[in-house]
Chain A
Amino acid sequence: MTVVRARLPTQLRDLAGVGGEVELEIVGAVTLASVLETLEAQFPVLKGTIRDRATGKRRAFIRFFVGEVDLSNASPDAALPDGVARGQEALVVVGAMAGG
């Protein structure tokens, strides 16, 4: 089991009732898919807010970063950078700047 840090945008933190980062206990490989599945299991209110419920596809205005690396278009099943698995870096979920 690996403890992973994730940082959510303000509106999703409000929905989940959390402040700052959340810690997620990941069983198995640390991938975008496994982190999001764990996040949604721990905070069911977030289902559908980051990725489509049916297809698992990232919502259009959501981005995923680790450090300065944009993983938004990476395979959900690819391993996240080692720093995430080691707890050194957080997976950052970003609501893209849009609108006014």
Chain B
Amino acid sequence: MSKVRLLVGTRKGAFVLTSDGKRESWQVDGPYFGGWEMYHLKGSPLDPDRIYASQSNGWFGQLVQRSDDGGKTWTAVGNDFAYQGDVGTHMWYDGSSRPWEFTRIWHLEPSPDEPDTVFAGAQDAALFRSTDGGTTWHEMTGLRRHATGPAWQPGAGGLCLHTVLLRPGAPEWMAVAISAAGVFRSDDGGESWRPANNGLRSEGVLPDPDAYEGHCVHKLALHKAFPDVLFMQKHWDIMRSDDGGGTWREVSGNLPSDFGFAIDVHAHEPETVYVVPIKSDSEHYPPEGKLRVYRSRSGGDEWEPLTEGLPQADCYVDVLRDAMSVDSLDPCGVYFGTTGGQVYASSDAGDSWSAAVRDLPPVLSVEAQTLP
């Protein structure tokens, strides 16, 4: 019988949750790296027992850990994330220019084609690649040196590259999202990049709401079988692109709030999308104190609240951008973690939910792995 493994990064360590295919009860292992901020853990699509983890804190900086046995044991690999060449500047909050400075890795994306290749999204925004299992890292300089780079400004959480989208069998195509520069796309394997923000509007946030870049994109998601269809949780607005990010249109529809962080797509239904509405950018909790996942089965515009098993009163947690994931079982499992330390699991595509674990440190990321 298949199994599911959840890789959970929190403010104070990493946890590995496992369940059989029923996904009713969960074994919780950890904390691993207790006391460290674990921004993201992700397994290789080619070898699910190979897992990469981003480990950092303000005292001791950034490390990357790798497990080759499904998270039982870990080895620190490379942590030399050096910006290449002339570092240059980006724009600071007050409009001044500030040299790029490495803070942490937000996101690790193992290649779907090369078992030893993994990409890392950094703050300050840059993309790094390792082709030796994380031992050495090299900046893909074409992104940070894009002509718009000096104008990139950080979002409230920093100038972070938090999303890396890849297509199996098409290594020339890549897309990344940066808060608050927007989406950038490459068609030559990351050598050169171009903004992919046409159709985004950020009224009240940008002087020019239709700006070429500068949008605070919170997360992107796609269905592997239809990689030209991208979904976006922007700071405000749920957006959709049908041409791989060439143009975007808003599909927020009837959501109670279109602010939020997390977004994901059903493993088998490419038009079924999940978001967790958050009240506003100053109130990082669900509207009305009700924790609701919203599901659209029409690729956006029409959304239904999913509430069974989720707290519907006095709930004021947040769900962060990398804290939602789906498995590939049938029915599709959907998972998300909260800043209150709960990891909620649904084994029926969101119809009902239960807490896989309830009292972890604030959850930063959740990644589901479907195991044979």
CA A15 – CA B57 in complex, angstroms?
Answer: 13
Q: Which residues of the partner chain B approach A9 to less than 8 Å between Cβ atoms?
A: 59
Whether B165 sits at the interface, judged by CB under 8 Å, is: no
Q: Check B61 against A49 for contact (C-beta < 8 Å).
A: yes
Whether B35 sits at the interface, judged by CB under 8 Å, is: yes
Q: Which residues of the partner chain A approach B79 to less than 8 Å between Cβ atoms?
A: 47-48, 53
Q: Which residues of the partner chain B approach A69 to less than 8 Å between Cβ atoms?
A: none
A19-37 interface with B by 8 A CB criterion: none
On whether A49 and B60 interact (CB within 8 A), knowing A11-B35, A11-B36, A54-B82, the answer reads yes
Of all chain B residues, the one with the shortest Cβ separation from A52 is: B61
Q: Which residues of the partner chain A approach B35 to less than 8 Å between Cβ atoms?
A: 11
Whether A78 sits at the interface, judged by CB under 8 Å, is: no
Q: Which residues of the partner chain B approach A45 to less than 8 Å between Cβ atoms?
A: 63, 76
Select B59's contact among A11, A48, A54, beta carbons within 8 Å.
A11
Which of B36, B61, B63, B79 has the most chain A CB atoms closer than 10 A to its own CB? B61
**Interface residues of B, count at CB 8 A:** 13
Whether B58 sits at the interface, judged by CB under 8 Å, is: yes
Q: Check B80 against A53 for contact (C-beta < 8 Å).
A: yes
Q: Check A12 against B60 for contact (C-beta < 8 Å).
A: yes
**Interface residues of A, count at CB 8 A:** 19
On whether A15 and B76 interact (CB within 8 A), knowing A53-B82, A54-B82, the answer reads yes
Fill in one digit per residue for B28-70: 1 if any A CB lies within 8 Å of its CB, else 0: 0000000110000000000000000000011111110000000
Q: Which residues of the partner chain B approach A50 to less than 8 Å between Cβ atoms?
A: 60
Of all chain B residues, the one with the shortest Cβ separation from A12 is: B60
Of all chain B residues, the one with the shortest Cβ separation from A15 is: B76
Q: What is the predominant secondary structure among interface residues of chain B facing chain A?
A: loop
On whether A59 and B59 interact (CB within 8 A), knowing A11-B35, A11-B36, the answer reads yes
Q: Which residues of the partner chain B approach A59 to less than 8 Å between Cβ atoms?
A: 59-61
Whether A76 sits at the interface, judged by CB under 8 Å, is: no
Q: Check B58 against A11 for contact (C-beta < 8 Å).
A: no
CA A86 – CA B79 in complex, angstroms?
Answer: 34
Min CB–CB distance A98 → chain B (angstroms): 7
Q: Check B59 against A61 for contact (C-beta < 8 Å).
A: yes
Q: Check A49 against B63 for contact (C-beta < 8 Å).
A: yes
CA A50 – CA B61 in complex, angstroms?
Answer: 8
Whether A62 sits at the interface, judged by CB under 8 Å, is: yes
Q: Check A98 against B63 for contact (C-beta < 8 Å).
A: no
Min CB–CB distance B324 → chain A (angstroms): 27
Which of B60, B76, B79, B80 has the most chain A CB atoms closer than 10 A to its own CB? B60
Q: Check A15 against B63 for contact (C-beta < 8 Å).
A: yes
Min CB–CB distance A22 → chain B (angstroms): 16
Q: Which residues of the partner chain B approach A12 to less than 8 Å between Cβ atoms?
A: 60
Min CB–CB distance B101 → chain A (angstroms): 10
Whether A96 sits at the interface, judged by CB under 8 Å, is: yes
Whether A95 sits at the interface, judged by CB under 8 Å, is: yes
Fill in one digit per residue for A82-100: 1 if any B CB lies within 8 Å of its CB, else 0: 0000000000000110110
Min CB–CB distance B120 → chain A (angstroms): 14
Q: Which residues of the partner chain A approach B82 to less than 8 Å between Cβ atoms?
A: 53-54
Of all chain A residues, the one with the shortest Cβ separation from B79 is: A48
Q: Check A48 against B36 for contact (C-beta < 8 Å).
A: no
CA A11 – CA B35 in complex, angstroms?
Answer: 8
Q: Check A11 against B60 for contact (C-beta < 8 Å).
A: yes
Residue ranges of B at the interface with A (Cβ–Cβ < 8 Å):
35-36, 57-63, 76, 79-80, 82
28 CB < 8 A contacts A-B: A9-B59, A11-B35, A11-B57, A11-B60, A12-B60, A15-B76, A45-B63, A47-B79, A47-B80, A48-B61, A48-B62, A48-B79, A48-B80, A49-B60, A49-B61, A50-B60, A54-B82, A59-B59, A59-B60, A59-B61, A61-B58, A61-B59, A62-B59, A62-B60, A95-B59, A96-B59, A98-B59, A99-B58
* Apart from the given pairs A11-B57, A12-B60, A61-B58, 10 other A-B contacts in the complex at a CB distance below 8 Å: A9-B59, A11-B59, A15-B60, A45-B63, A47-B79, A48-B61, A48-B63, A48-B79, A48-B80, A62-B59
